[in-house]
Amino acid sequence: MQLKAEKDSILVQLQQSTKLAHEKPELVERLFGTTGFSEVFSIADDLKFMRSVASKKKKATERGSIKLEIGSLSQSFDRLNLRKSLIHPARTARDILTRPFEEISNPPLTVSYDLNDTRLPGKFQFIDRYIIGSKVKRAPASTNSGCDCTDCALSTCKCFTKGSKGDEKQVEVYVRRPDGIVVLSDEYIAKGIVPHGEGRHEITECNEFCRCGDDCWNRVVCKGRTVPLEIFQTEKCGFGVRSSKDIVKGQFIERYLGEVVTETELEIREDAAEEHQPSYIYTLDWFNDDLNYKFNHVDGMYFGGAMRFANHSCNANAWCFPVQSHRKDKRVYDLAFFAIKDIKAGVEIRIDYRPDGGADDEKPSEDLVRCQCGEENCRGILWKPGVKTRRRRRREG
């Protein structure tokens, strides 16, 4: 009875506080067989336990007086190229918008947002060469060839040879100006801009199989753009393209770039597109006049270069000429834009969306797009029924 009374008394004390178990663990263990404390985990109050193990120095420290060592942070900021001065949010936004141009920067390709809040399409990406689709078939590199000359004289270099066998002639494509700039010859431009005119020829540039070097005057488009370009906002025609430098007649401006896709892939894309979605298609049909031929196409909708934003004019100052370096590959070649007249710095570069011409007395149609170029020779119509008509016919069929 005495042991039971002692156990009841100790139990009451333990229920009120565990202090007795800490002070007299032997007594508690003798009466109850265990103290109830874990040998692994402390059951002490967390705050009291932390205070008990903290050093006196840490207990006395005022947190507000602690000085942070930020040397490592400064080095991190330097690596991020962040200046010590504050960066205005507008500048940060501009850096984000212009960052896609940094890889296409020699000469610079820039964008200007001076007119309104309209921005370039978010899904659009700038590229500096074609993206060749997986279904596009190209002539093997082993079928290509080059010239044997070292000076590429007009009279002897086979890269200037045009026409079929037995009716061949040497065609002067490029000339070198006194200032060293290589431009299209006036004769080549005059013949090249006449729709379906005689004497029109593609440009064949020297390639890696030619014996001439990189300084050859017949290597222009393959060296890339040589003038700075700016994509800017126009008052009536969305975005446009201009240069901060004068461009002389015959000077190479830029290629039209995008994804090279097959006819089948193009139809799939057109059928999936919205009815009024704009089209940025160039058909690679220079070497074949058969309308039933399955051509390849360059789609600049989501990938492309500056000329994707070039606007139309019935009095264009730039023109697209076909350029090849692989003589046997007639299905994939470059679409190169050259100035066909002097273009002063700041003047918009405009091209003709209908280089084949066309009458301005088209019958009224819901598919006709009216031209807004404002030139005296304006044809009135931008283009004939095209993409939307093809979509509709396939859907109805």
Q: Is residue 86 part of a domain?
A: no
Per-residue model confidence (pLDDT) at position 213 = 87
Could you tell me if 229 and 304 are in contact, meaning their C-beta atoms sit under 8 angstroms apart?
no
Same domain? For 30 and 135 the reply is no
Both 130 and 202 in one domain: the answer is yes
pLDDT of residue 397: 45
202/315 same-domain check: yes
Catalytic: which of 188, 256, 282, 333?
A: 256
353 in catalytic set: yes
Same domain, 57 and 118: no
CATH number at residue 175: 2.170.270.10
- Say which DSSP state 343 is in: B
Q: How far apart are CA 62 and CA 64, in angstroms?
A: 5
Per the domain annotation, does 367 fall within a domain?
no
Q: What is the mean pLDDT of each run of 10 residues along the chain (397 residues)?
A: 72 71 73 58 54 56 56 53 54 53 70 82 88 93 90 89 67 92 95 80 92 92 94 90 97 97 93 82 86 87 94 95 91 96 97 73 60 86 60 48
For residues 202 and 280, membership in a common domain is answered with yes
Residues 252 and 230: their CA atoms lie apart, in Å, by 16
**Residue 352 CB neighbours (<10 A):** 21
> Is residue 388 domain-resident?
no
Q: Which of 338, 371, 332, 330 is nearest to 354 (CA)?
A: 371
Residues 313 and 216 in one domain: yes
Do 43 and 168 lie in a common domain? no
193 and 298 housed in the same domain? yes
Instruction: Say if residue 125 is in the same domain as residue 255.
Output: yes
Q: 388: which DSSP letter?
A: H
Query: Does residue 287 sit within a domain?
Result: yes
Residue 246 lies in a domain: yes
How high is the pLDDT of residue 281?
92
Same domain as 218, residue 135? yes
Which pLDDT value is given to residue 40?
Answer: 45
This prediction's pTM: 0.71
pLDDT given for residue 288 in this prediction:
80
Counted domains in the chain:
2
Co-location of 54 and 125 in the same domain: no
Range of the structural domain that residue 20 is part of: 2-61
348 class by beta-carbon count within 10 Å (0-12 exposed, 13-18 middle, 19+ buried): middle
Please indicate whether residue 333 is annotated as part of the active site.
no
Q: What span, in angstroms and rounded, lies between the C-alpha atoms of 397 and 385?
A: 17
If asked whether residues 26 and 175 sit together in one domain, one would say no
